[in-house]
């Protein structure tokens, strides 16, 4: 009966009565080479294409039978390797700078994936195992008890801070881990969900952390009215629609509002209206009552004849004075003419602002 080969490791199984006198050669090859490679063998595989199958031979040394496979590549890109479609455990050492993914072939030696693969990132050393169709790897959820690492850990799986807490020796604080040295935040750090300890009260001048919500509330308590030189109110404020087209007034007492005329109605270019009445100055005739009171003097001569005068004139040295006349009364004049006016420039420059109140 001819020899056959085992399905997983392809070890030669000597048929009954076969290889008389030479069975030791086959047995030594099986035990000292093939099985030893499967348990403790190490092989470096150079990957030269994006998809490459491990060599797999019956009864002879190959790549796929080794326990540890180190990957190198000339692809300068991520690549995939394919193991035979049989149950097997490997340690994969990806020495390249690219991600390697290991699959089971659908047929021995081809590069068609039979099922799920495992991605091994650049530089990683990963234990994987196959059920003949899919590959699997161990993860943090598969480990129990304490895990001791000697030296630096360069690759970690997913875990929570609570799981990490027991392994750290330099944590401070309670709950989630806080390292002794203050971390440098990146991105947009925010207050942890459910945390209220850093929502400080107004007036707190300690070194405690505060959120941007606290800062806004501290500078602008709810209901505070603030002036903004923009059309829309900023986030957290509501634009007031009560006052429109008004000037600002500084007071030392109670703040209020008033007035009746709009700002742009008052401050616009205007031409004043001038009303005239009785401005013409015409001629007038003074009455006796309007002229100042006065008298006149005159002289007269005669030749032996007496003169008689009426009107209260007196005689003396031939010089005579009339009675006073005139009352010194007031009088008026009418004035005529035209009146003109010049426009007054009141179109003052301005900047529009809005009033908004803190929400």
3-state secondary structure 32-65: HHHHHHHHHCEEEEEECCCEEECCCCCCCCCCCC
Ranges assigned E (strand) in the chain: 4-5, 12-13, 42-47, 51-53, 68-73, 79-83, 87-94, 100-104, 118-120, 125-131, 135-137, 171-172, 178-179, 225-228, 237-239, 297-299, 319-321, 354-358
The mean pLDDT of the chain is 78
Q: What is the DSSP letter of 325?
A: B
Share of the chain above pLDDT 70, in %: 69
Query: Does residue 203 carry a pLDDT above 60?
Result: yes
pLDDT at 43 over 90: yes
Which string of b and e fits 19-33 if b means at least 16 CB within 10 Å? eeeeeeebeebbeeb
Residue range 184-193: mean pLDDT, rounded: 69
Identify which of 334, 332, 329 has the alpha carbon closest to the alpha carbon of residue 288: 329
Supply angle C-alpha 337, 340, 342, rounded to 5.
165
Q: How many CB atoms lie within 10 A of CB 210?
A: 15
Phi and psi dihedrals of 283, rounded to 5?
-70, 150
pLDDT band at 27 (very low <50, low <70, confident <90, very high): confident
Q: What are phi and psi of 45, to 5 degrees?
A: -115, 120
Q: Which two tokens stand for residue 103?
A: 């699959």
Q: Which of 130, 167, 159, 162 is nearest to 8 (CA)?
A: 130
**Is the per-residue pLDDT at 79 higher than 90?**
yes
pLDDT at 45: 96
For residue 146, is pLDDT > 80?
no
Of 82, 19, 70, residue with least CA distance to 43:
70
pLDDT band at 245 (very low <50, low <70, confident <90, very high): confident
Q: What is the pLDDT of residue 127?
A: 94
199 pLDDT above the threshold of 70? no
- Residue-level length of the chain: 359
What was the pLDDT predicted at 292?
Answer: 83
Tokens 């006073």 map to which residue? 324
Task: Check pLDDT > 70 for residue 64.
Answer: yes
Condensed to tens digits (0 to 9), the pLDDT of residues 313-354 reads: 444 455 667 777 777 677 777 777 777 778 788 788 888 888
The whole-number pLDDT of residue 330 equals: 72
51: β partners: 80
């Amino acid at each position: 009966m001819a020899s056959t080969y085992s399905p997983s490791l392809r070890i030669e199984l000597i048929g009954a009565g076969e290889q008389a006198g030479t069975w030791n050669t086959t047995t030594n090859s099986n035990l000292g080479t093939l099985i030893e490679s499967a348990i403790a063998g190490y092989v470096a595989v150079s990957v030269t294409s994006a998809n490459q199958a491990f060599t797999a031979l019956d009864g002879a040394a190959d790549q796929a039978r080794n326990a540890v496979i180190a990957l190198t590549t000339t692809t300068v890109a991520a690549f995939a390797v394919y193991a035979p479609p049989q149950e097997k455990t490997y340690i994969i050492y990806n020495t390249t700078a690219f991600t390697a993914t290991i699959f089971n072939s659908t047929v021995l030696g081809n590069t068609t994936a039979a099922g799920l693969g495992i991605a091994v990132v650049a530089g990683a050393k990963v234990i994987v195992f196959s059920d003949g169709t899919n590959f699997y790897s161990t993860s943090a959820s598969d480990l129990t008890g304490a895990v001791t690492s000697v030296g630096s850990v360069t690759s970690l799986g997913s875990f929570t801070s609570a799981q990490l807490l027991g392994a750290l020796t330099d944590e401070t604080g309670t709950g989630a881990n806080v390292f002794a040295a203050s971390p440098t935040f990146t991105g947009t750090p925010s207050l942890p969900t459910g945390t209220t300890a850093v929502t400080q009260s107004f007036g707190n001048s300690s070194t405690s952390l505060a959120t941007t919500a606290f800062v806004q509330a501290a500078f602008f308590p709810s209901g505070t009215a603030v002036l903004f030189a923009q059309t829309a109110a900023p986030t957290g404020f509501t634009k007031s629609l009560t006052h429109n087209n008004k000037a600002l007034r500084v007071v030392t007492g109670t703040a209020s509002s008033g007035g009746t005329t709009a700002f742009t109605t008052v401050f616009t270019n205007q031409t004043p209206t001038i009303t005239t009445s009785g401005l013409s100055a015409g001629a007038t005739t003074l009455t006796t009552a309007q002229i100042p009171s006065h008298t006149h003097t005159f002289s007269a001569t005669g030749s032996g004849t007496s003169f008689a005068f009426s009107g209260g004139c007196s005689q003396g040295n031939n010089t005579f004075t009339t009675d006073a006349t005139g009352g010194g009364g007031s009088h008026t004049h009418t004035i005529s003419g035209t009146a003109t006016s010049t426009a007054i420039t009141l179109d003052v420059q301005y900047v529009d602002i809005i009033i908004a109140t803190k929400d």
